[in-house]
Amino acid sequence: MKKNILLFFVLFLSMKAYAQDTVPSFSHRSSLSLDGSWNIIIDPYENGSYDYRWQESPNGFFKNDKPKNKWDRIEYDFDKSDSLIVPGDWNSQKKELLFYEGTVWYKKSFDFHKKDSTRIFLHFGAVNYLAIVYFNGEKLGIHEGGFTPFSFEITHLIKEKDNFVIVKADNKRCAECVPTLNTDWWNYGGLTRSVAIVETPATFISDYCFQLQKGSRNEIEGWIKLQGSQPRQQILIEIPQIKIHKRFTADSSGYVYFSSSASIKLWTPEHPTLYDIKLISGTDTVTDRIGFRTIETKGSKILLNGKPIFLRGVCIHEEAPYRSGRAYSLEDARTLLGWAKELGCNFVRLAHYPHNENMIKEADRLGLMVWSEIPVYWTISWQNEQTYKNASRQLADMISRDRNRASVICWSMANETPLSSPRLEFLKGLIRQARHMDSTRLVTAAMERHYLDASTQMIDDPLGEYVDVLGCNEYIGWYDGLPQKADTMQWKTIYEKPVIISEFGGSARFGYHADSLTVWSEEYQESLYKHQITMLRKIPFLSGMSPWILMDFRSPRRQLPGIQDFRNRKGLISEHGEKKKAFYVLQQFYEELRRNQEK
């Protein structure tokens, strides 16, 4: 009992430290959508920001100026400019923007009838990469990082008529950014996720967290946070399916910490049970659908709800099937995750950045466990303090957005980062933060392996000491020899922890047929999968796998004409939805694993 109280206190402190610092959770509120057509100005020379001496111009495009008389010389006009659809990247909407990296200004005008004593927020699902946001001519702030939500309060600025939001979106890559200059995916720019005006009561439920107490399968616990001038309110928590109707009173800073026992049907891939949850405060009501499950490790096993589970996964980029470009819609999520289900997956690695919320919510609904990661990818400026702060902010925003999603079982800190002590310190800091914010999920990273001798792979990255699960990427048969090289390969690790082969694979152009040693052919890829499976079956500490990758995706690094055409072809499915031969090899293997797991 004493131990429980101590644990609860530690949890209390850790939750408090971060919850107040994050973006309010708006995804369950009705709002005025600002999606649709936005006027845009393409501005490669930053003319909307700087004058000819490269000084910040006081009359930048954010003012949305119009000539007031006939001699007023204003050299831009949003209302006569071109337009783009939001949500959506700019690269895939206009041919001339396919390779564009730079600044695009966006403008949207709208009228709004505000109710008495409410608060109004302008919310962005994501903007890649740097967003400077202005509202009715005032600068609201800056947001860096292309895959996480942010919002600004505009209660004091909003009017009944002719409001205008202006966003300067800039996707220029930079060495200190997260990700950095070099990636293997398209740098889709723009307002890639939805934008909305959210109206809340003066004091509102700004965030909450519901989950099973660590180590328990029938004790729900968590917290609710009120923001506003009347924080000391009673809050009723209702979960009707399990007969929870409980009142709690928030403290003077608006927090309620609660726990309640209940007999719960746990969330599993086979039965992804979600419960309707209603939070009713004196001034506000919020609803959500939440599942409950535990996830832990024991030696080299991953345990879901206390039972060992093998993760039958696949990696996915946030790339839209059929139409190309950044994926954002429910339909995109249904297609991508539908294919993963068809493949026999119970797990998806959402690479290499936080995907849109439709993906996570669909995964919750479909029973797919999720690996979610931040874009700390390849070479990062490990010693730059701003870079660390940026990565840490992206981590905080990812966790606070998705901590109520049962599907998310692990947070990944990094992908294939080269060994060094500054890198280790950087990643240790992020791991501490992830554990501090969320003690119930597993922490991982996709690491690399090396050769001990010609037929032995070793996983001994020093980072392994700090994570719960060792992710390992390997490309035997592609960047490393021919597929048959895998057959005799042995694996070792110095850690007694579960290993997920978080990537393997090879490229094939759909419809290109040849013998199994002809690179780029479907037969080569098929053979690579067969040889990999031969090897994977023999790794004693293997707890899961997520081959690279579900669908072909755009990458500027992939230039071979007629084969790649700026696409990474390691997909099991083409961008047009055509399944390659390797898809069926993996499907068959997953079916076998599923049957064995059921026995």
Residues in touch with ligand GCB (CB under 6 A): 184, 352, 415-416, 473, 503, 548, 568, 570
The answer to whether the bond into 308 is cis (omega within 30° of 0) is no
Q: How far is the CB of 168 from ligand GCB (least distance, A)?
A: 29
Q: How far is the CB of 554 from ligand GCB (least distance, A)?
A: 11
Q: For residues 104 and 370, which CB has a smaller minimum distance to ligand GCB in the complex? A: 370
The dihedral formed by the CA atoms of 524, 447, 402 and 406, expressed in degrees to the nearest 10: 70
Q: For residues 250 and 374, which CB has a smaller minimum distance to ligand GCB in the complex? A: 374
Please report, for the chain, how many H helices and E strands are present, in that order: 7, 33
Distance set, CA 318 to CA 9, 181, 412, 434 (Å): 39, 19, 16, 23
Q: How far is the CB of 448 from ligand GCB (least distance, A)?
A: 8
Q: How far is the CB of 458 from ligand GCB (least distance, A)?
A: 18
Q: For residues 400 and 415, which CB has a smaller minimum distance to ligand GCB in the complex? A: 415
Round to whole Å and give the CA distance between 478 and 134: 48
Q: How far is the CB of 580 from ligand GCB (least distance, A)?
A: 15
Q: How far is the CB of 475 from ligand GCB (least distance, A)?
A: 7
Residue with tokens 């005006």: 197
CB count in 10 Å sphere of residue 77? 13
> Quick one: which H or E segment has residue 10?
helix 2-19
Round to whole Å and give the CA distance between 374 and 394: 7
Q: Which two tokens stand for residue 105?
A: 């200004």
Q: For residues 39 and 546, which CB has a smaller minimum distance to ligand GCB in the complex? A: 546
CA 381 to chain centroid: 21
Q: For residues 412 and 543, which CB has a smaller minimum distance to ligand GCB in the complex? A: 412
Round to whole Å and give the CA distance between 232 and 442: 34
CB-nearest residue to ligand GCB:
184
Contact by Cβ (8 Å): 413, 427: yes
Q: For residues 190 and 547, which CB has a smaller minimum distance to ligand GCB in the complex? A: 547
Round to whole Å and give the CA distance between 565 and 502: 26
Q: How far is the CB of 478 from ligand GCB (least distance, A)?
A: 8
Q: How far is the CB of 557 from ligand GCB (least distance, A)?
A: 8
| Backbone φ, ψ for residue 226 (5° rounding) | -100, 140
Round to whole Å and give the CA distance between 220 and 154: 35
> Quick one: which H or E segment has residue 335?
helix 330-343
Contact by Cβ (8 Å): 233, 250: yes
Q: How far is the CB of 362 from ligand GCB (least distance, A)?
A: 23
Q: For residues 416 and 438, which CB has a smaller minimum distance to ligand GCB in the complex? A: 416
Q: Which two tokens stand for residue 596?
A: 């064995």
